[in-house]
Amino acid sequence: MQFVIGATDEPRRIYDIARELQLRADRSGRFLFTDLDLEYNRPQVEIHIDRDMAAALGLNMRELAADLGTMLGGGFVNRFSIQGRAYKVIP
């Protein structure tokens, strides 16, 4: 069984909630073991473009969007191996 906590609260608060859930599961006696594998793998940010400033700098919105997509996107390219461990290449 796996639980996924989706939230936008502070990381410490999310950890506290996950830890409490784990402790309750342990105390229930219904699980052989529990493991807390907390990952913050979907950070979010809002970007507001000052269109007037972008235009004054000669930036095109389509090109700007493409550049931001490349910079912030999670595009998987391939894997490479170092000392027997595989790593993803994400531009």
Question: pLDDT tens, 37-75?
Answer: 877 766 667 788 999 999 999 999 999 988 888 777 766
Cα dihedral across residues 11, 4, 23, 36: positive or negative: negative
- 54 closest CA partner among 72, 44, 67, 45: 67
Residues 29 and 57 occupy one common structural domain: no
Label residue 22 by pLDDT band (50, 70, 90).
very high
Residues 63 and 26 occupy one common structural domain: no
Residues 33 and 52 occupy one common structural domain: no
Segments forming the whole domain that contains residue 16: 1-44
| pLDDT of 31 higher than 80 | yes
- pLDDT of 28: 95
Q: In the chain, how many domains are there?
A: 2
